[in-house]
Amino acid sequence: MAASAKIDPMHQFMINPVVGDHLVASPFQFTNSALWMGLILGCILVFMWGGMKRELVPGRWQVMVEGFVEFISGMTLSSIGPEGRKFTPWIFTIFTFILFANYLSLFPSGFIPGGHPFAVTAQFTVTGLMAIISFSIVLIVGFWRHKLHFFSLFVPHGTPKVMVPLIAIIEFISFMVRPFSLALRLFVAMIAGHILFEVFGNFVVQGINSGTVTGYVIALISFVFVLGVNALELLVCAIQAYVFALLSSLYINDAVNLH
């Protein structure tokens, strides 16, 4: 009984093979993470396909897709300037992927027969890869456009000469931490929300199963917390997608304009 009552909120983040009982040393193992990323990609393709009909009188779906594109286009234009249009495809890609991944991970169990919702953005390897790609774009664009003058990014205008070495070191460390903080922010936000879901959900079930008045009270309070966390998570899912895309565009702006 004690073992069955144990709460393991981290179990939901385990990567497991879709077929078979355990992972093997093979790059071709099809896992639950790959399954959900495929599902996310499929949903994005359907979403984009439904909005690319280019009807003379656009329907709601087309208006929604065009609104997404215009929103990201406006973000890159305001963050980077006229050259921001070149980077709109990447910013749109990460924003849409994160948004769909976050919201799909909130679906209840049974959404896929026999499957459990899997938060791919709660995997640091996924958020880290997107952050590394964004950071790589910054480095490639920065050195391609400005050559060695790109290092002037670490010395803000008006810095006293005596302070240049110290400021340059601080700016360089801050610059190198960017991809880590970018990936960690999304990862922590999503994993924390799902852990709260799991913990309070278990409190609800165990409180009801206890069959006592105290258990029912705890279950009711936990259920209220679940509703509150769910409402907050719906907001966090969109905010984290926006923050990741916005910070990526601002970092690219530094490489383009050396601000």
Structure tokens at 161: 């000469």
pLDDT greater than 60 at residue 153:
yes
Structure confidence at residue 67 (pLDDT): 86
Identity of the residue numbered 19: V
What are the boundaries of each domain within the chain? 32-257
Categorize the per-residue pLDDT at 4 as very low, low, confident or very high, splitting at 50, 70 and 90: very low
| Residues 100, 116: Cα–Cα separation, whole Å | 16
How would DSSP label each residue in 179-235?
HHHHHHHHHHHHHHHHHHHHHHHHHHHHHHHH-SHHHHHHHHHHHHHHHHHHHHHHH
pLDDT digits (tens, 9 = 90+) for 214-256: 888 988 988 898 888 888 889 999 999 999 999 999 999 988 8
pTM of the model: 0.87
pLDDT greater than 90 at residue 60:
no
State mean pLDDT over 40-54. 84
Structure confidence at residue 23 (pLDDT): 65
Structure confidence at residue 2 (pLDDT): 42
Structure tokens at 105: 């991970």
pLDDT greater than 50 at residue 3:
no
pLDDT digits (tens, 9 = 90+) for 171-190: 899 999 999 999 999 999 99
Beta bridge partners of 31: 17
pLDDT digits (tens, 9 = 90+) for 101-128: 999 888 776 555 445 678 899 899 999 9
Structure confidence at residue 47 (pLDDT): 87
Categorize the per-residue pLDDT at 36 as very low, low, confident or very high, splitting at 50, 70 and 90: confident
Pick from 16, 36, 15, 13: nearest CA to 195 = 13
